[in-house]
Structure 1
């Protein structure tokens, strides 16, 4: 899910503290990478920018070699561009909790990922550790690095990283001699997936609730060149709205008066007109959100002209291009959830009054209306067996065109088709066609050996960048050859062509060449690109690239195959087109358009099996076991490559009158989280994997937690990590009655909980049923989330449950000895040293502080009722003041050592040996175990007055950053600070 284009802030919600932590981890994993200094952070806004920065400043060494394309770089390997991207995405995922598959290089650090300046430092510091040879990112660099892609670009420009090669028609027979033969594989024809058919069901309009827009406010209707917008404006005006029709060259009305936008398109709209509709929506987005803030409601809708039944009525689809608007509106429903979003499909019988009445209802999101019927979408679970018919639709002389290249998912699909149908496969991709390898290159296969051979046989001196480019060309060559070989081994005939699907002339030439070998009988359109950005940040160039590759590419294929008697047409659509997805408005628009273009082709080619498969995520190289667990917790199962490819080969053999739009997800996925009505026509064959059970909700506000008035940074109240630990512990024992919390492992803060003076936020605290660990200890994963469907992850830990064990002896390791230079009574009064108010004055005194660590005496917390209004418990599970005192002592240590503050990010393990911590305070010893420019790790002991061990922390991690100084100084609640 992670991509280098993703923004740390907007896409990933990575604040400045988490950013420092991520960069510090990168430094560890890439010790040869350059140090990223605090001054570099402001320009690194996306994962790509981080990669680029490291790339640009990475110094080559004589003894290093680049990683293989599928392996993460190790400490003794120089990092190629793909390696930098992988490491950056890995660090972002680790520090924010986002699945890697969600991340894209186009994402903005601020807006898409929510990564503030502190989190940025943390991320860059981790990058520095993992890539010590990468260039340092200076403060002056940070302001220009807004996206992940820019970080990668920055590193590339200043270091020896490289980009990929460039781009006609070659048969497998011609390339098999280019490399060693491909071994035959006996792959069973089987698959286990969740298959849902898109259909409609009647909607009882009396069950809908009216949408009340503010009287006299402006409701904009985009002009589509027909009479409908004017007629609709008149009908809506009768509802006391100022409904106006806006032409393509008209000036926008005053934003403060706007309460709604209704998008339309001409039936024969082109890509530019779709982009114009997106631009209008983008321009008016702030006005719609402002209308919600002022009046409590706003409307964003579109009118599509398919058939009045969302293209599912079984008759010709009138204007499939208008479905692009539906994809946009569905994405807006995720990005702007406060705005009422509607998709209304009509046929020619619908009057303006009937349309107006339906627009002024609150839902469902997608509705189709005719003169006398109203429908909504539903998904019907329908399995498919693996039994093929006796008379297969494709013959061995048939050619199937497959766009999307000769690598990855489309390559797997092409191989499966060859295995079943023994036909010809012509794969079209943007990579250049394979070239014959010289004799000196053929015997070597390891990356290091390939690069040595390239250098040894070069006629001129090569720079590391040149070597990398040539190496990547070799690998691309071999992967294409391997795919063609696999297709031949599977029983098919394989050809590869290099072309851009948006180039109509190239596509025509390729199909002309294909016809000389046999009839063109099938099209599988799998080409696609991504450029994920929030609506506000999406450029028209990005939209054009993503939308055009899918839609114009399909149009070119259909135009070129107009005289061919096609037996099968398959569009690789996406669940993003069906449900919408944050950051993918262009991709949703393109895929929903593909869905309806496929419906149109079904009516034009009644003897052709037409499919538009709305795929969920595939099980690729970036989806590891941990990500699968995370997807499963969110109700999503990935599609195994072999299962997905076998399924599609089987679907080709279903009747031509079968359904067109089909949603395919990994087995056991939960569609309810995608806000769709799902009707199951069969009993599930396997139980669905649930998300963590909800233990309780907690409203966080200054009224509910008065203690927050003494925990303020940057003029905003911040929920202490120590209280997060309490909440996670509460959740675990709530879901596991009779058990006691004795500790915690892997506590991580992914996104801080930050409030303005008047804010409140509902936290959803989840915990699992305990699993047995060893001995008498059981474990339960717990999480703190917020937002719709708990989409924002704030913290996670594994809670240890059982009976408190006997405490080990306190460590006899050397202790810090040097006196602390600041008097105890000045600790909380020295500006910028700490930010904590009176209720959180945890440190009673500092006894010693030096390179080894720090020793201090800590005060115990008062009863929960003094911090929390109507607490759920009368006693603490830990002691949040003592825990926060550990954090405060470490702030003093980093201030003393680095002259920079710090904040907690992670605790590897916390163990408590008493049921309740003493009320008389404790002695705390922090011993430093590791330190870098932006991250410090220590072990902690909490001792009673007799020196006995009460609790200990193994692996406390904090992020260090000079920019925290200003945040510490601004420790009084502001009145109008933006959240």
Structure 2
């Protein structure tokens, strides 16, 4: 598969980082009986498990054993599996054995290399000859498999390494064999050179079991996605790949390892530094820091001959060289002339470099040496080190090219390219005892692969992996590996520049690249190890097979993999949005047609929705059938279905999809109506129950206008990355952006019919351009027809200038008031009452605390449910004693926050005195200390061992409940072991007497989604696994009932009601691993506790921010907060310091 640079790109520095991937889909395929899968033996049980697993699936497996001198232990396999033992690793022997396998067992259509875990070399990481021998052998095997593998429509070249399961970028597990990184460069290059061969490099955690490892490899072999070339699986089987994204520097307050700043005392050892691009970077560093440089190169140091001096014209200089050769009685052949000319120009360039460094204020010395010869290098360095001082940094810029397709490569090509990059670095490191800076000049060829540069890609990927390895072991060293694209200079001739321009490949100007090196080494915080300089590559389209193809692809759906679907629940159950189903189909097609882009769909039918309940199928099947195709476009029919328990098909979605090589330019929507209705602008469709969508889908910010004929809304997409979107990433198009169009139909139906709606059909949809993160856009809906049971509309998403992003035509939804009870926001019943109540109660127009409390409520509360027979309405506006089955925690605060608004009565929470210093109390105290607020004192603390404290508590309770109209929440048992799992056995008679005395009802409360038992000091007070909780209210028990019972029976009745409530409400939400990962990343970046990270992330995802909260979030992100010197400003600064644990820099004006 070949790649091109993304059009209209600019020179930029991209950070190489891990990106989480969903589990691979499974392509239905048939293994041919006369084809062979060649599998190398790594000497571990993984080989046995993989061979067995493939054989059970019908594959014909042959095992290739390396010589005992390389891998001493061979896997013991069944006699039914053919095996070949290599006597040596010479190219001739490898070629012979591959031919014999083909002749004896069948044509090789799959090759899987299992690299041994480690060959035990620790002190000579880059010099392990066994590792190198295996790598070169696989390189040569690939060379001689080219004809066999490219002869089939589906063939495989896989390499499997054992780094850390995170492609060398993991933080928890170390690895010892960066040379194995070469397999990634080789595999990615073959992916470009061999268009129809499925090439992938896999990195498995060393701690994964053999059978699990085999299953993961097999799952990758069946993956239909050709575009992914490398994946990793860590111990938790989290699947990741590497991407290059815009490098966002960490705020200064986020911590990080600091290195010593460059100065005139810094001494760099520089390979390839006498000439070319590396020399220009060295000159730039000399100008910035006046460092010292020991430059290494192959050019011999000679004095310029007298005949060449002062001659700058190349033609004239050639004539002088010819005359000099003739004067010596020799024949001036073109080779001799060019050799002397090159030597003269080379020496001049070195002299110019040395002179430029000195003029910039630095010092430099040039040594002519073979950097792969460690002994010679050390000998020559002795004098330079004595003169300059100890070497503090290395810049490795040397490299050799031998560009050829792999089938034309030679062993010598491999050695020349490999030794300069890898052995050269090894030699330089051997000369230095302690480094402050390690700068590696790698190449985009290593990160992406590149046609004709398989050996160069191998060497550069080893450098990349070594950079991560070295940083892991020496965290205070500033390590950076620059993966350069082509530079404007050196080998890039005007002709090559023109060729690059035709392919939209940016050439790096010398001044731009040099500045990047200087700026990177100027930084004191250095967390980024590998950067790509250039633009992202996109796949080039290849030749399509002339016959119309069909594909069958399988997928398992889980809520755990798609947590955002909790925000799209109907009737209490998450439901797959129709736009996600379409994105699923389009995304599945993308890797089948590299270079093509999704453009349109037609006749999209919703036959049955996918609901995440007991009806969820074990497996869903996509059938793709090509209808017609050309080199410009491909059209397919796509269906999603599953099999019932009786093996009958159940159909869900059907659509006709079109892909194009070039998407037409954005059309202009000419009837955009931006009229604003002031009454509509104040509506909040997500809060008032019009829409059921949770935060992940909340993109509508304002309804501008609505009429029987049309509607316009203003939108901003919620910030969701591909990890959060799980199995439905925004690849072909953004499914959330498309879902907003259907949300508009629901708003319109609610407005005019007071009913709910469900999608039925979309006659046509077109996609032109993505919507940028944070960009304001508009959705205009034109009504085509409407009846009591159906709405048909055209909907267009566009910018303010009318340029169309996406549009759908003749889209139908059903209208039914019978659906109303299902379309209730899962995260908050009557949520629209929360903010108005609290603003009224606190007598404030707007309060930053409400944003945080609302955000916590949306993140952690699923439902507030009451027993219908309890006649909940009858206890609204009254004092109530709530008795809960759980200890005080954040759930008590959120319960009180929500139920206070739902009942119209503020709720006071009673807690033990030991909780007075908890983070919850600290936070609430600060929130209620806002300058325009008076603390409402909603928390009461008591010392259970102090009788006076108890009496004072009861006195206060009676006062607020009688005089101030408050309700009360008390937890009847203080052990976290309960958590709705064990019956409550204890209840103080004081509370029963209190209810009777004050003539107030007792309402039992069940908190579902319990918390783990932890010491108070380390307690998070958030639901375990960051699940959402449910709050259940049981039947009210009135004083009249209690008075009729003996004292003992009163307690029995209440405990019975409380425990029965817990028995019927044990179901809780699954853990939210994506939010948990976001929290842990925040902890690492900000250097704060988990509590603070949770609060920050919850605030960050809030859909509504007031000015103060926006200022706070931006300040925390930047690490610097600038505030007015006012009570409000100082309050916000104190909150920022509390959230960041004092790490925030604040300036008061």
TM range (shorter): 0.3 to 0.5
Larger-gyration structure (1/2):
2
- Tell which has more relative contact order, 1 or 2 (C-alpha 8 A, sep 6+): 1
TM-score (norm 1): 0.46
